[in-house]
């Protein structure tokens, strides 16, 4: 049972890494980025390709850098020019980017499933609660906690973090007060996309790589964002851990209903609190 | 020197033209009122200054430099701080964080966190509370304090008396006059005759998106001013 709880934390951690990028981008650009799962997938493949030549760590670093650059281009080339259009236009464009990136990945890496090994340093198991537990999964938990802690400190105690929190609720008023929300958005979309790339590489040893690998986890990340409260970083963390547990416990104890349970949770939370656990934008 | 001037501005929301050939100016140290009934385009003047509309003709001149496409942050960074109608308090930030956000432009001047707390001691007492936990009058203090944190040359106030008790409006009038005496120009967008009379020196009347009258408020009776607003 305790091992299953830890496995739930591992999945919740991955969900958080992906969902926090969605939260960041939603806050600044006020759009739901349908391409986020494809960015996760692309980060995964980039890490896989670099790791095949060098090693896992260079693959991880390379994917973060490459995906951050992709994020900067996404904001400067797509999201910023479309900011004065109806949000639905931007959402449809991000859906188009999802399709383009999946086709691109199919052309470059093929449709066949691929797998990536964890680094040697993190292979093997340790004994926890009398049972073996993969070291790599503990690494995933540690990375998620470090990212959550780092983001919290950055958002709470830095000047830029203050601007990001303000913009996540009201980018127009924040701009009127003198903050260049376009430059802030460039930073935030770059960071969010870099995090998507990082989560893609970290998830790669735990799941099969395929051009559509981002779709299911993206849906659960959307549930995390909605349950946590649109634009809420702390809410996303709580919701990711909750859905990680529900996903994992459901797969073990209620496999026939496991894909349904996160949706049921979302419905219950929205009935209880329509703005999600930690409020945010209504 | 003119801090802010609208020079024959046509401003639109999408295809809808709201301001039609609007011209006015506010010079350094002046206290100017923009009057008019609801729906005549007063808030659109503020939105245009803050980049919320599309300028189809004319230009907005800030510190004698003309602009036709204004990013949201331009006015604030050019020394024009805005107190929005509805106050624009960020609900997820504490009172102190709301104030610090006002200092994001990094302009030097007399206003700091300590100076604003000195002006509005209640904000210091509640500095760790969330912004929306304040009463209407206190929220207006927070919005004004946040604008002052930018050390502006010109303070634009959009309906600052809206929803406030008369005694609070009196305090605001005193504050605006004090700021004016200290050299900060004031642009007051209002319908409250008492506040306009106590603060402003000049006025512009807006009707159907156009400036139809302007002049000095000196010697103008309350009835005359009410008639202007009722146009």
CB neighbours (10 Å) of residue B113? 17
Interface predicted TM-score of the whole assembly (ipTM), two decimals: 0.91
Of A24-28, A265-269, B87-91, B112-116, the least confident: A24-28
Looking at residues A173-198, what average pLDDT do you find?
94
**CB of A174 closer than 8 Å to CB of A2:** no
Q: Is residue B177 part of a domain?
A: yes
Of A118-127, A224-233, B36-45, the least confident: A224-233
* Minimal CA separation from A153 to chain B, in Å: 15
Looking at residues B98-118, what average pLDDT do you find?
94
**Per-position b or e across B13-48, b if 16+ CB within 10 A of its CB:** eeeebbbbebebbbeebbbbbbbbeeebbbbbbbbb
Q: Is residue B138 part of a domain?
A: yes
Partner-chain contact A178 B76, CB within 8 Å:
yes
Stretch (H or E) spanning B105: none
Q: Is residue B20 part of a domain?
A: no
Set of chain B residues whose Cβ sits within 8 Å of the Cβ of A172: 50, 52, 72
* Minimal CA separation from B50 to chain A, in Å: 6
CATH code of residue B174: 3.40.50.300
Looking at residues B188-215, what average pLDDT do you find?
92
Separation CA B173–CA B170 (nearest Å):
5
Which tokens hold the place of B44? Answer: 């659109």
* Minimal CA separation from A76 to chain B, in Å: 16
What pLDDT digit, counting tens, does each position of A146-172 carry?
999 999 999 999 999 999 999 988 889
What pLDDT digit, counting tens, does each position of B126-178 carry?
999 988 788 888 999 999 999 999 999 999 999 998 888 888 889 899 999 99
Separation CA B59–CA A98 (nearest Å):
41
How high is the pLDDT of residue A280? Answer: 52
Across the interface, of B73, B76, B100, the residue whose CB is closest to A162 is: B100
Give the phi and the psi of residue B200 in degrees, each rounded to 5: -85, 155
Q: What is the DSSP letter of B30?
A: -
Distances (CA, A) of A100 to A69, A71, A107, A158, B207: 17, 15, 11, 37, 51
How high is the pLDDT of residue B221? Answer: 82
How high is the pLDDT of residue B101? Answer: 95
Per cent of chain B over pLDDT 90 is 73
Partner-chain contact B52 A170, CB within 8 Å:
no
Stretch (H or E) spanning B87: none
Set of chain B residues whose Cβ sits within 8 Å of the Cβ of A179: 73, 101, 104
Please enumerate in sequence order all residues whose Cβ is within 8 A of that of A115, keeping only pairs 6 or more positions apart, or say none.
A204, A205, A208, A209
- Residues A137, A140, A144, CA angle at the centre, nearest 5°? 145
Separation CA A111–CA B113 (nearest Å):
59
Separation CA A109–CA B18 (nearest Å):
54
The residues on B that touch A, with CB distances below 8 Å, are: 50-52, 71-73, 75-77, 82, 84, 88, 90-93, 97, 100-102, 104-105, 146, 150
Choose among A4, A36, A43: nearest CA to A21. Answer: A36
Distances (CA, A) of B122 to B95, B100, B140: 10, 16, 12
Q: How does residue A282 score in pLDDT terms, banded at 50, 70 and 90?
A: very low
Separation CA A38–CA A35 (nearest Å):
5
Q: How does residue B90 score in pLDDT terms, banded at 50, 70 and 90?
A: very high
Domain carrying residue B212: 32-54+69-230
The mean predicted confidence, pLDDT, of chain B is: 92
Partner-chain contact A177 B52, CB within 8 Å:
no
Is the predicted pLDDT of residue A137 greater than 70, yes or no? yes
Residue in chain B nearest A170 by alpha carbon: B90
Set of chain B residues whose Cβ sits within 8 Å of the Cβ of A176: 50, 72-73, 75-76, 82, 84, 88
Separation CA A158–CA A172 (nearest Å):
21
Please enumerate in sequence order all residues whose Cβ is within 8 A of that of B1, keeping only pairs 6 or more positions apart, or say none.
B27, B28, B63, B64
Across the interface, of B72, B77, B100, the residue whose CB is closest to A181 is: B72
Per cent of chain A over pLDDT 70 is 99
Across the interface, of B73, B90, B97, the residue whose CB is closest to A178 is: B73
Partner-chain contact B73 A175, CB within 8 Å:
yes
Set of chain B residues whose Cβ sits within 8 Å of the Cβ of A162: 93, 97, 100-101
Across the interface, of A165, A179, A280, the residue whose CB is closest to B104 is: A179
Set of chain A residues whose Cβ sits within 8 Å of the Cβ of B50: 172, 175-176
CB neighbours (10 Å) of residue B156? 25
Q: Is residue B4 part of a domain?
A: no
Concatenate the DSSP letters of all residues of B51-107 into one string: T-SEEEEEEEEETTEEESS--TTHHHHTTEEEE-TTTT--TTSBHHHHHHHHGGG--
Query: From start to end of A54-192, where are the E strands?
Result: 125-128, 131-134
Looking at residues A16-33, what average pLDDT do you find?
86
Residue in chain B nearest A167 by alpha carbon: B90
Is the predicted pLDDT of residue A27 greater than 90, yes or no? no
**CB of B135 closer than 8 Å to CB of B81:** no
Q: Is residue B185 part of a domain?
A: yes
* Minimal CA separation from B103 to chain A, in Å: 8
Set of chain A residues whose Cβ sits within 8 Å of the Cβ of B91: 169
Query: From start to end of A81-219, where are the E strands?
Result: 125-128, 131-134
Residue in chain B nearest A86 by alpha carbon: B14
Q: Is residue B139 part of a domain?
A: yes
Could you give the number of structural domains in chain B? 1
What pLDDT digit, counting tens, does each position of B42-81 carry?
999 999 999 999 999 999 999 999 999 999 999 999 999 9
Interface test with B, best of A80, A83, A155, A177 (most B CBs within 10 A): A177
Q: Is residue B12 part of a domain?
A: no
How high is the pLDDT of residue A281? Answer: 46
- Residues B67, B69, B74, CA angle at the centre, nearest 5°? 75
Domains of chain A, first to last: 2-272 (1.10.3470)
Q: Is residue B81 part of a domain?
A: yes
How high is the pLDDT of residue B231? Answer: 64
**CB of B178 closer than 8 Å to CB of B172:** no
The mean predicted confidence, pLDDT, of chain A is: 91
Partner-chain contact B93 A166, CB within 8 Å:
yes
Across the interface, of B73, B82, B91, the residue whose CB is closest to A179 is: B73
Partner-chain contact B90 A181, CB within 8 Å:
no
């Amino acid at each position: 049972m305790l091992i299953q709880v830890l496995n739930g934390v591992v999945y919740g951690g991955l969900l958080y890494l992906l969902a926090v990028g969605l939260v960041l981008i939603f806050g600044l650009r006020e759009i739901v980025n349908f391409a986020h799962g494809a960015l996760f997938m692309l980060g995964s493949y980039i890490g896989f390709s670099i790791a095949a030549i060098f090693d896992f760590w260079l693959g991880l670093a390379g994917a973060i850098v490459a995906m951050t650059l992709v994020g900067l281009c996404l904001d400067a080339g797509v999201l910023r020019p479309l900011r004065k259009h109806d949000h639905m236009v931007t959402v449809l464009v991000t859906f188009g980017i999802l399709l383009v990136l999946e086709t691109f990945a199919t052309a470059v890496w093929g449709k066949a499933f691929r797998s990536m090994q964890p680094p040697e340093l993190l292979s093997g198991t340790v004994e926890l609660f009398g049972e073996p537990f993969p070291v790599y999964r503990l690494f995933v938990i540690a990375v998620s906690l470090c990212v959550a802690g780092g983001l919290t400190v950055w958002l709470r105690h830095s000047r830029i973090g203050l601007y990001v929190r303000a913009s996540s609720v009201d980018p127009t008023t924040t701009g009127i007060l003198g903050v260049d929300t376009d430059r802030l958005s460039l930073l935030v979309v770059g960071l969010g996309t870099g995090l998507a790339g990082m989560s893609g590489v970290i998830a790669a040893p735990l799941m099969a790589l395929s051009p559509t690998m981002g779709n299911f986890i993206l849906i659960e990340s959307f549930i995390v964002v909605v349950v946590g409260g649109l634009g809420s970083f702390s809410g996303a963390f709580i919701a990711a851990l909750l859905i990680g547990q529900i996903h994992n416990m459901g797969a073990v104890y209620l496999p026939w209903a496991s894909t349904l349970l996160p949706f049921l949770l979302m419905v219950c939370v929205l009935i209880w609190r329509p703005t999600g656990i930690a409020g945010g934008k209504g | 020197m003119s801090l802010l001037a609208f020079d024959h501005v046509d401003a639109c929301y999408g295809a809808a033209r709201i301001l039609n050939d609007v011209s006015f100016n506010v010079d350094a140290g002046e206290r100017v009122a923009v009057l008019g009934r609801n729906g005549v385009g007063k808030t659109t003047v503020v939105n245009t200054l803050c980049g919320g509309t599309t300028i189809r003709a004319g230009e907005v001149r800030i510190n004698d430099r003309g602009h036709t496409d204004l990013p949201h942050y331009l006015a604030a960074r050019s020394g024009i701080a805005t107190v929005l109608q509805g106050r624009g308090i960020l609900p997820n930030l504490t009172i102190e964080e709301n104030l610090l956000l006002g200092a994001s432009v990094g302009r030097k001047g007399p206003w700091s966190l300590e100076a604003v707390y000195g002006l509005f001691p209640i904000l210091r007492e509640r500095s760790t509370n969330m912004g929306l936990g304040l009463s209407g009058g206190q929220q207006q203090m927070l919005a004004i304090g946040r604008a002052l944190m930018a050390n502006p040359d010109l303070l634009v106030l959009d309906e600052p008396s809206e929803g406030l008790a008369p005694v609070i409006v009196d305090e605001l009038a005193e504050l605006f006059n004090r700021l004016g005496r200290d050299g900060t120009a004031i642009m007051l967008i209002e319908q409250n005759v008492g506040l306009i009379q106590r603060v402003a020196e000049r006025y512009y009347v807006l009707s159907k998106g156009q400036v139809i009258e302007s002049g000095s408020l000196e010697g103008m009776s309350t009835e005359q001013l009410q008639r202007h607003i009722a146009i």
